[in-house]
Amino acid sequence: MAELNAQEKISLITQGLQEVLKENIIADVLIKENRPLKIYWGTAPTGRPHCGYFVPMVKIAHFLQAGCEVKVLLADIHAFLDNMKAPLDLVAHRAKYYELIIKAVLRAIGVSIDKLTFVKGSDYQLSPQYTMDLFRLSSLVSEHDARKAGAEVVKQVQSPLLSGLIYPLMQALDEEHLGVDAQFGGVDQRKIFTLAAENLTKVGFKQRAHLMNPMVPGLAGGKMSASDPNSKIDLLDGPEIVKTKVKKALCNPGVVEGNGVLSFVEYVLLPISALAGEQTFHVPRPEKYGGPVDFKDIEELKKAYAAGELSPPDLKSGVTAALNKLLAPVQEEFKSSKEFQEIEKLAYPPEVKVKKVKKDGQKGGTQHPNKGSQNKGTKGQDVQEVDPKDDIATSATAMDNLTV
């Protein structure tokens, strides 16, 4: 690929984004300072990564093509702070799993990871300097503003934890401590980006540019979420599972807006095919319905779908074939690596359902909860009570292991 000039780099960096804040910072770095733009993208290792991760991977590919220095932040401490979505004893394993799966996805779409740097939040967020900077920033940001900033990112509950207020402050500080010029994320991060822009200068740090991807609808409509199994396809889902999930996806005939299947073609399949040199989405349609057809751009596809020239089953058939082709090398890498498989088991162990202890007088219990260390569950199964001191000890041990 020929060397891009500064303007071509800016166009590639901002291509397909929904919004860019402080684009002048990007121009200053590339034109006035004549050096590579430094960008970071952060992800909290909580639920299992799904096919929505192809969306930021496409932009990371663009950043690397534009000569940017890209850091991927595996935000392990953030994962714990977000309403404890990831228990501390699992965070380190999940961070490693995220690193392995993200590298596999990038390789699957033909992106060289030689100029990509992976950093764990706990590698620097536990340092005295970072802690002091967090104290300084927290003395300037109100509870209202911190809660507002994290409203679309941090899990919202009736009785929010203090950790949810720390989360956006740390995300802002990461821009300084990672030494970058810009932060990249989804448009749902906008309020955190705004908090960073408004407050980092108050503690003596410079402003950064902020690059925002649009939010891609899930297969069931709404935001694609790792916590909603109906809205997403896991990166390790086999061909038949992919086929079943796509088949069940919300995809009303002729409806373009909010159509998660069409959005997946727009933000994942077409851009990835463009990375390979030719932007094309192939639909293997039977001859009796018009035969196979190729679409070169999303507007052409949307027009055909809205007009009824392409049916939902045929659209889903094309998406299923293309997605399984993308996932194949990722899954092959997983199957050929014992380390990868072991980390996956440690990161996401089978869920153990614990029976609730029955109160005295209710059926199923033979002892008062305060008598003895075990009680009988509803089906006569022993249920081990947990000493609060043990829970504290477990958390302390997990925190010690966080940086391992």
| Residue 180 sits in the same domain as residue 314 | no
| Residue 371 sits in the same domain as residue 308 | no
| Residue 132 sits in the same domain as residue 196 | yes
| Residue 181 sits in the same domain as residue 280 | no
Q: 270 lies in a domain?
A: yes
How is residue 242 written in tokens?
A: 């992919």
In this predicted model, what pLDDT tens digit does every residue of 98-120 receive, in sequence order?
Answer: 999 999 999 999 988 888 999 99
> Strand pairing partners for 69?
38
How is residue 67 written in tokens?
A: 């000569």
When the pLDDT of each residue in the chain is averaged and rounded to a whole number, the result is 86
Of the given ranges (123-132, 151-160, 349-358, 392-401), which has the lowest mean pLDDT?
392-401
Pairing of strands 374-376, 69-74: unpaired
In this predicted model, what pLDDT tens digit does every residue of 263-306 receive, in sequence order?
Answer: 999 999 999 999 988 899 999 998 988 899 999 999 999 999 99
Q: 401 lies in a domain?
A: no
CATH number of the structural domain spanning residue 257: 1.10.240.10
CATH number of the structural domain spanning residue 109: 3.40.50.620
What per-residue confidence (pLDDT) applies to 372?
Answer: 44
**Helix residue ranges per DSSP H, 46-142:** 54-65, 76-81, 88-108, 128-138
List C-alpha distances in Å: 377 to 183, 358, 364, 371.
50, 7, 6, 15
Q: Which residues 6+ apart lie within 8 Å of 324 measured at CB? A: 239, 242, 243
| Residue 179 sits in the same domain as residue 290 | no
What per-residue confidence (pLDDT) applies to 199?
Answer: 96
Please identify, among 198, 213, 228, the residue that sits at the C-terminal boundary of a domain: 213
| Residue 171 sits in the same domain as residue 49 | yes
Of the given ranges (14-28, 207-221, 371-385), which has the lowest mean pLDDT?
371-385
| Residue 160 sits in the same domain as residue 197 | yes
What per-residue confidence (pLDDT) applies to 387?
Answer: 47
What per-residue confidence (pLDDT) applies to 382?
Answer: 43
* pLDDT greater than 50 at residue 393: no
Q: 400 lies in a domain?
A: no
How is residue 293 written in tokens?
A: 């057809």
Q: For residues 163-175, give the mean pLDDT.
A: 93
In this predicted model, what pLDDT tens digit does every residue of 136-164 receive, in sequence order?
Answer: 999 999 999 999 998 888 776 667 778 88
Give the model's confidence band at 376: pLDDT under 50 very low, under 70 low, under 90 confident, else very high: very low
How is residue 125 written in tokens?
A: 């967020």
> Strand pairing partners for 14?
none
Q: 224 lies in a domain?
A: no
Please identify, among 213, 247, 264, the residue that sits at the C-terminal boundary of a domain: 213
Collapsing DSSP to helix, strand or coil, 127 comes out as coil
What per-residue confidence (pLDDT) applies to 81?
Answer: 85
Using CA atoms, how far apart are residues 58 and 169, in angstroms rounded to an integer?
A: 27
In this predicted model, what pLDDT tens digit does every residue of 52-98 receive, in sequence order?
Answer: 999 999 999 999 999 999 999 999 999 888 766 667 788 999 999 99
Burial of 404 (0-12, 13-18, 19+ CB in 10 A): exposed
| Residue 67 sits in the same domain as residue 149 | yes
Q: How many domains does one find in the chain? A: 3
| Residue 306 sits in the same domain as residue 279 | yes
Q: 3 lies in a domain?
A: no
Q: 174 lies in a domain?
A: yes
What per-residue confidence (pLDDT) applies to 276?
Answer: 86
Q: 102 lies in a domain?
A: yes
185 vs 383, higher pLDDT: 185
| Residue 246 sits in the same domain as residue 315 | yes
| Residue 286 sits in the same domain as residue 340 | yes
pLDDT above 90 as % of the chain? 69
Q: 403 lies in a domain?
A: no
Q: For residues 186-199, give the mean pLDDT.
A: 95
Of the given ranges (66-80, 219-233, 312-326), which has the lowest mean pLDDT?
219-233
Q: C-alpha angle with apex 326: 3 to 233, nearest 5 degrees?
A: 125
List C-alpha distances in Å: 50 to 225, 282, 325.
8, 22, 15
> Strand pairing partners for 70?
39, 116
Q: For residues 200-208, give the mean pLDDT.
A: 96
In this predicted model, what pLDDT tens digit does every residue of 231-274 receive, in sequence order?
Answer: 689 999 999 999 999 999 989 999 999 899 999 999 999 999 99
What per-residue confidence (pLDDT) applies to 396?
Answer: 44
| Residue 172 sits in the same domain as residue 275 | no
Q: For residues 328-336, give the mean pLDDT.
A: 97
What per-residue confidence (pLDDT) applies to 226?
Answer: 54
Domain that includes residue 122, residue range: 8-213
